[in-house]
Amino acid sequence: MRKKSATILPVRKIGPLSVSAIGLGCMNLSHAYDHIPDEKDAILLLNTALDAGVTLLDTAAIYGGGANERLIAKAVGHRRHEYTLSSKSVLDLIDGKRRLDGRPEAITASLDRSLERLGTDHIDLFYMHRLDKTVPIEESMGALVRAVEAGKIGAIGLSEMSATTIRRAHAVHPIAAVQSEYSPWVRNPDVAVLETCRALRIGFVAFSPVGRGFLTGAMARNDFPPGDIRLTLPRFQSPHFQRNLPLAKAFAALAAGAGITPAQLALAWVLARGPHVVPIPGTRSVEHLRENLFAATLRVSAEVLAEVDSIFTPGAVFGARYQPMMQAQIDTELLPEEL
């Protein structure tokens, strides 16, 4: 198995920004999965990522209730010139409660809190984390445009939004990037968003590109620890999880036949979806970080990539992506089998 680290990562464009072809999702260093690593281990991982050529770090106000932003400031704030910093607003933790608020004044306040936690006066790419359906997207965009004009942010992004919403927002101000979950087993962006981004020259940032760990070949049971987000996700719950395991096994076998790891195959598949696509896998492991980054330099045949699609055919995955309450905050189009 090839698990080496790429010493020089290819570069891709997301809007006006040039970033490493694979970025780093920082959420699981403070939030959502398994256990939170010791601070010293998280600091080591962040610095190792920069040393290996990663130039896109992705965080958000909601991650650890601001703890993730503070971690980035502490770990790599002194290396601020080496990476593109992205964070998110609208979805936030206020007084210990998860809150979705797309009002302009709420976005401005959230941005100011993020700037303070990050120890900077400028965030390179700032997303609306979710669509607040009670506020016209044009009004929310107004706050972000004013932040660009004030020099607080460099570019505007949207997360988990539909092609229609993207076009409405883009008409107000150019959108640099759209972020959504995307992997061989989460294909919603294929409905319309991926092509919309290509047509409008918007970068597409794929989070959870290894299927929240499902596509790594290492997940045989769904006995996640308390607090792990996967406990709330239908396709990771019984009996869906057990019915999905044959997909993971077939995927791992395909990767082994190609001489690479399952995570590398997942990332290679995502990268092959278009030159405007940048995956941001997260990890707590330096070894897995290096394994992931090597995928940026792999050449995987079209035949192997086509085999990926033959495993994850429409309707092959059991269980919804989110529970109804969480899905209500997602604007991304549903697949035909989800309707």
The closest of 167, 161, 155 to 181, measured between CA atoms, is 161
Burial 117-134 (b: 16+ CB within 10 A, else e): bbebeebbbbbbbbbbee
Dihedral through CA 30, CA 36, CA 41, CA 44, nearest 10? -30
Q: 24 exposed, middle or buried (CB, 10 Å; 0-12, 13-18, 19+)?
A: buried
Decide: residue 287, CB within 10 A, 0-12 exposed, 13-18 middle, 19+ buried.
exposed
Nearest one of 106, 95, 102, 147 to 126, comparing CA atoms:
147
Element (H, E) at 251: helix 240-258
Tell me the C-alpha distance between 192 and 182, whole Å.
13
Q: Collapsing DSSP states into helix, strand and coil, what is residue 318?
A: coil
Residue 140, by phi and psi: left (phi above 0), alpha (psi -120 to 50) or beta? alpha
User: Exposure string (b/e) for 191-213, b if CB count within 10 Å is 16 or more?
Assistant: bebbebbbebebbbbbbbbbbbb
182 is catalytic: no
Give the pair of three-digit tokens for residue 114. 């993020």
Among 33, 63, 83, 127, the one annotated catalytic: 63
Cβ burial of 305 (10 Å; 0-12, 13-18, 19+) is middle
Active site residues per annotation: 63
